[in-house]
Chains A and B, each alone.
Chain A
């Protein structure tokens, strides 16, 4: 488990209302939570909002955590659930599809060595990935987001999702197959 290493004594103190202890959890987990949130939306502003939402949820749900259990799998599971249920306040995806349609033609005549064009292409690739990810079934989406969050092992993903390793492998297989099928035409890697 990619465990940011908050001792359970600190978690217990935070459960008792100690704000400094809660802050220690936030500081230790910011990287992991932000990384996971990013893999659900691929947008910096959304990832910030989503990460904040995760910590606010942690604040209200922390009392439900059993401190005799390891904290990291519980925290990852809770975070992934917030990500899955998070409803965007705005909807830039729909707008960005239109924008891409218009700008896509212009890119064809751009110099491929132009760094600004390269950045735009990377941005487009990420947006396409974000759209494809949001089209996955919840389990497959969670599995692949956790798998690439700090290079988590398949066994660690299984622990966080409370399912057998074989099940995670199946979800990862499906996630990759579907993402590949959706992204191949957009990325034009397979031509």
Chain B
């Protein structure tokens, strides 16, 4: 092979196995040739540098995951909170209406009696064990607070 033929085969030889016939011939030629030899050695140096690469830093996957956009929660995750809020609001309205209505309408006397009975029971409980009632009120307030906090958190996630 001429020097020109040798150099035309450089690239293919680099992609061939080390013991491929052409590669062995090229190696032998370049060991002795003052023109092809340096070119071949530059290509070997290039290959050496192209082969080596540092490893990715530790914790790289964490970095990627935290850079991803935060997914919006699915609608069904918000539904229980929204439903609970609506039911609570409806119950409060109903209670207010019932209080106003029972104060005047005579045909609602049984309801009025029931409410009075309930009120009396509550009053008696407060009188006998005020700390227990205070506990229930605080627990109720905490539940409502937690519930509305969760709802607002979801709303902020969706809006933001």
Contacts and interface: CB of A to CB of B under 8 A. Distances in A.
Interface of A: 17, 19, 22-23, 26-27, 30-31, 33-35, 38-39, 44, 47-48, 51-52, 55-56, 59, 125-126, 129, 144, 147-149, 151, 154, 169, 172-173, 176-177, 179-180, 183-184, 187, 189-191
Nearest to B41: A189
B42 interface: yes
Contacts of A172: 11, 15
Kindly list the 10 A-B residue pairs having the minimum CB-CB distance in the complex, ordered from nearest: A190-B38, A34-B56, A148-B50, A173-B11, A38-B53, A189-B42, A55-B64, A35-B53, A26-B61, A27-B61
Contacts of A144: 50
Interface stretch (B65-73, B108-116, B130-138): B65-73
B107 interface: no
Interface in B13-29: 14-15
A179 B14 CA distance: 14
Contacts of A22: 65, 68
Contact of B71 (A17, A149, A169, A173): A17
Contacts of A179: 46
SS class of chain A's interface: helix, strand, loop or mixed?
helix
Given A34-B53, A189-B41, A190-B38, A176 B46 contact: yes
Contacts, number: 96
A39 to B, nearest CB: 7
Nearest to B37: A190
Contacts of A126: 49
Contacts of A35: 53
Interface of B: 10-12, 14-15, 38-39, 41-43, 45-47, 49-51, 53-57, 60-61, 63-65, 67-69, 71
Contacts of A51: 56, 60, 64
Contact of B65 (A26, A38, A169, A189): A26
Given A48-B57, A176-B11, A184 B42 contact: yes
Given A19-B71, A56-B67, A173-B11, A34 B38 contact: no
A155 to B, nearest CB: 10
B39 A190 contact: yes
